[in-house]
Structure 1
Amino acid sequence: MKSKKRGMMYENGYGEIVDYWLEEDMRLRKKERRTRKKIYEQLRDEYNFPGSYRTVCDYIQRRKPQLKLEKEKRHEHLDHPPGEAQVDFGAMTVVKNGAYKDIDVLVLSFPCSNAGFAYPLPAQNTECFLEGLKQLFHQAGGVPTYLRMDNLSAAVVSIGKGDKRVYTDAFLAFQAHYGFEVQPCNPGRGNEKGNVEKKVDYTRNNFFVTAPLMENFKQLAAWLEEKMIQDRKRLHYEKELLIDELWEKEKTKLKALPLKEYPIFTVDKAVVNKYGEITIDKEKVLIPHAPIKQTLIIKKEWNQFSCITSDGEIIYKGPRPYMNEARPIPWEFLFH
């Protein structure tokens, strides 16, 4: 008989999140993978993990070899009815203004036809995730009947098996507007969304191995959409038909897009400090003409934020801090 594993990593679902991150990192180059410290800090900041760094390290040390073994043994075949989709983020790199920029690409795949759609975003927060889903639904021309997803912090508040998951209010409102059902992956069963994981790798290897040039997100989204359209003109890996032909049939099973456009934003509050700054995305941002110690309403969209007074006056609007993040290209290393 198998003994029940105890401890907050197993009983409270935190281990499932770490498993997902470890499996995700296995697909990345070693230098791009999360360190144990980074995993602990992300777990603490995004999921309010109450445990210690040592607890996380011990869990990772035990689980890493187990996950590798489980990955080798996964042979279960899953049926994929038409109209059902899977979604996941993938980390990619582009070149903007002569520097590397790390972005996240949200990938939507339909396993029945193997059709894929991708949309570039600056982060994996709630606003980016929902904006990306909205754009992908429009690219697909409809809404999936079921959407299989993992425990993305952009949508999940707390973890549990199946229906025990608690989703954010923003995600639930989005789901209600578009009318799709969610199929959460079970713990340690990455093969349940294996199609989109392969699609993320395929997108990275075919379109981002040589980092493409990026002018802005609008230009990059249009470029990537065209690449994904052209990619559907190849044969399905099993069915000996073009993916495009299979997709045309599968499209008829999608739900219709809502007539009304859904606005994507969240609302928060921030207090102006003595230097006239507020904190947004863990960065200090100067808000000109903002009264010290005044509480402002912050409207956050995927690419920008607005500061609103209690009287409803917009006193500042600017890009979110991560929009301008970049890292230099190591030219000396590349041409050595």
Structure 2
Amino acid sequence: MLAMSEINCIKTLRNEKGLSISAVATAMKVNWRTAKKYGDGEQLPQEKLYIKKGMMYEEKWGEIVSDWLEEDLKVKKKLRRTNKKMYEDLQSMGFKGSYRTVCNYIQEWRSAEDDELSKGHERLDHPEGEAQLDFGTMEAVQDGEIVDVHALVMSFPASNTGFAVPMPGENLECFLSGLQQLFEQAGGVPISIRIDNLTPAVKKVRKGDTEAELTEAFRHFQNYYGFQVQVCNPESGNEKGHVERKVGYVRYNFFSTPPVIRDLEDLGEKLEQQLKKDRQRLHYKKEELIEDLWMREQKQLLKLPEKPYPVFKQFAIKFNKYNEFKLDQHFIHVPRARNYVQLYCITYWDKFKVITNDGEILLTDARPYMKKRRFIPWKDILKDWLKKPRVIGHSRYTPYLPTRIKEYLTVPSLALRKQRINELITLLVNHDMKEIDQNFYDYIAKNIEEQEHPYGVNWTDYDALSPKGTGVTTHE
């Protein structure tokens, strides 16, 4: 490309001196076409189109990541995929690029990020053996339905070690039972535990110089295990900032997309193994393995008692005229309740039982919140898939589909995918996804033959009518 001074010389020789194009080319020692372009042409500014190159733009990977980002905008921020999760999912699909390539694409896709302002909180010292505790709400998928998981997370700031236990709620029984499980995982009891004003633990919050008052049940639990309690000031989450970050770390690394689980015990085992594996990385500041730091800190923990503290709550029941009492915002029916003067309910974190004065058990069952589920909004999801049927192959919701329905939708033909998505949307008006899967052959499978044999002829049945041993096919 010529410099602007050379272009001006060509224009001067051509327009003011009147030289021919050949003479200009000879004088400026340029090609005839170049002399013609700048001598007679109008050099008007034009918009430049920058065509992005690379595997994220020239292959399918960019579209897949864009679909994920668009899909994640419709869920809560804490449930969105992390860059690492997207990269790992792409690798499982055959992606050969680097993690940085994916991050750069995501950064370009997002127009702006809100920067969190530093609040300049005072730095706190964390001696070995001191733990912090908090609940974090997350989601999992069980039997094709959404389950709310209340993960009780305990962190040790000195070594950056974390433990987590999934619970169905945040009541007293879940809180104390979860603490026991955390002690078992840690192999001991922390010297002190810093908590915020959790309802199961704190009866009255701290005001001015008045110390926080613990609930009687938590105080007995504390005395049994021998740990000290530090209660944060109201609205002062920075005082237990380490566990706040650990809750976020667990959520974004292990719950960025709701995992498929059999039950809470299954989820607890997976979470324990993942956090144990996570200790094989370097401490963000001390440049030592977290596992090595934890092995030293673990020696400071208090010894576990020989027997675990019995965690339950017992109360007298008041029945209505239908022989029902209320537990976890649900009415529980006890058929023979009117035959007794007084009955009692004993609640554990996962179950309850109704007993008489003599200890006879009249009823035992799982607590109502153990059965609490939320439907996945399949109708809205399918409507989005109808616009982009190719997204089914890599959508965050695809793993939650029943196996038969997933195979039914993931056919190569996009037109057939649309047709089948429409069928499911119609069925969802009167049936849920679990019912459709259970009655798959009645609701859906009969349509498959019609789609495979559009003229209503099943040639397999037709061939069965041909004479045996002839080997003749008559529908050529």
Band the TM-score falls in, shorter-chain normalisation = 0.7 to 0.9
Please state how far the C-alpha of 1:105 moved relative to its aligned partner.
0.2
Q: Give the corresponding residue for 1:164.
A: 211
Structure 2 residue 175 is the aligned partner of structure 1 residue 126? no
Deviation digits for residues 295-325 of structure 1 (CA, Å, limit 9, x no counterpart): 3211110001111112221111111110000
Give the match's secondary structure for 1:271: coil
Give the match's secondary structure for 1:253: coil
> How many Å separate the matches in 2 of 1:187 and 1:72?
20
> How many Å separate the matches in 2 of 1:334 and 1:211?
16
> How many Å separate the matches in 2 of 1:163 and 1:184?
12
Instruction: Please list, as runs of the form range in 1=range in 2, the aligned pairs for 1:1-336 lying within 5 A after superposition.
Output: 29=76, 72-161=118-207, 164-291=211-338, 294-335=341-382, 336=384
Q: Give the corresponding residue for 2:59.
A: none
Q: Give the corresponding residue for 2:52.
A: none
> How many Å separate the matches in 2 of 1:154 and 1:130?
9
CA contact (8 A) 1:170 1:266 kept: no
> How many Å separate the matches in 1 of 2:311 and 2:168?
15
> How many Å separate the matches in 1 of 2:143 and 2:341?
37
Mean Cα deviation higher: 135-144 or 261-270: 261-270
CA contact (8 A) 1:178 1:258 kept: yes
Compute the TM-score of the two structures, normalised by the length of structure 1: 0.77
> How many Å separate the matches in 2 of 1:183 and 1:75?
18
> How many Å separate the matches in 2 of 1:141 and 1:31?
30
Cα separation, partners in 2 of 1:278 and 1:293, compared to 1, 3 Å: farther
CA contact (8 A) 2:188 2:303 kept: yes
CA contact (8 A) 2:131 2:154 kept: yes
Give the match's secondary structure for 1:73: coil
How many residues align? The count is 274
> How many Å separate the matches in 2 of 1:183 and 1:254?
17
Please state how far the C-alpha of 1:292 moved relative to its aligned partner.
6.5
> How many Å separate the matches in 2 of 1:294 and 1:260?
35
Matched to 2:282, the amino acid is L
Matched to 1:120, the amino acid is P
Q: Which has the higher strand share?
A: 1
Deviation digits for residues 241-298 of structure 1 (CA, Å, limit 9, x no counterpart): 1111100000011111111221111111212222121111121011232226843211
Give the match's secondary structure for 1:106: strand
Structure 2 gaps, min length 5:
1-74, 80-115, 385-476
Deviation digits for residues 161-187 of structure 1 (CA, Å, limit 9, x no counterpart): 476222111101110110000011123
CA contact (8 A) 1:272 1:296 kept: no
> How many Å separate the matches in 2 of 1:31 and 1:233?
25
Matched to 2:257, the amino acid is T
In percent, how many aligned pairs have the same letter? 49
> How many Å separate the matches in 2 of 1:124 and 1:157?
15
Structure 1 gaps, min length 5:
1-27, 33-69
Deviation digits for residues 97-155 of structure 1 (CA, Å, limit 9, x no counterpart): 10001110000000000000000000000000000000000100000001000000011
Q: Give the aligned CA root-mean-square deviation in angstroms.
A: 2.2
CA contact (8 A) 1:273 1:292 kept: no
Between 1 and 2, higher relative CO (CA 8 Å, sep ≥ 6) is seen in 1
Greater CA radius of gyration, 1 or 2?
2
Give the match's secondary structure for 2:158: coil
> How many Å separate the matches in 1 of 2:341 and 2:377?
43
CA contact (8 A) 1:118 1:225 kept: yes
CA contact (8 A) 1:89 1:104 kept: yes
> How many Å separate the matches in 1 of 2:353 and 2:179?
22
Matched to 2:151, the amino acid is V
Matched to 1:328, the amino acid is F
Please state how far the C-alpha of 1:96 moved relative to its aligned partner.
0.6
CA contact (8 A) 1:275 1:292 kept: no
CA contact (8 A) 2:313 2:346 kept: yes
Please state how far the C-alpha of 1:30 moved relative to its aligned partner.
7.3
